[in-house]
Amino acid sequence: MLVLTRKVGEKILIGEDIVLTILEVRGDSIKVGIDAPRDVKIQRAEMVAAVTEANQEAAAAASAGSSTEARLKELFGNKPPTGN
């Protein structure tokens, strides 16, 4: 990992097409501007992790739901519900 120290207004170049600009430093937060081509995917790591976790939870719930459905079909077959 390359570690750089920058001040407000200073820039970091990545390749020929990407420019990071330090816009603001306030307490323990840094505001960074990113200038990059549209085809470059830029994501916050914590958002990717949150979406991945949510997808895994949804897949687990769907898997549990399908096993519940299978168990109910074992018990009751594929009979249509009767009107009450």
- Range of weakest confidence among 5-9, 15-19, 73-77: 73-77
The pLDDT value recorded for residue 60 is 79
* Measured distance CA(12)–CA(15) in Å, rounded: 10
Q: For 15-66, how does the pLDDT look when each residue is reduced to its tens digit (9 = 90+)?
A: 999 999 999 999 999 999 999 999 999 999 999 999 888 888 888 776 666 6
The pLDDT value recorded for residue 54 is 87
Q: Are 2 and 12 in contact (CB under 8 A)?
A: no
Q: Which pLDDT band, with edges at 50, 70 and 90, does 80 fall under?
A: low
Of 44, 5, 41, the residue nearest 25 (C-alpha): 5
Cβ neighbours, 10 Å, residue 21: 15
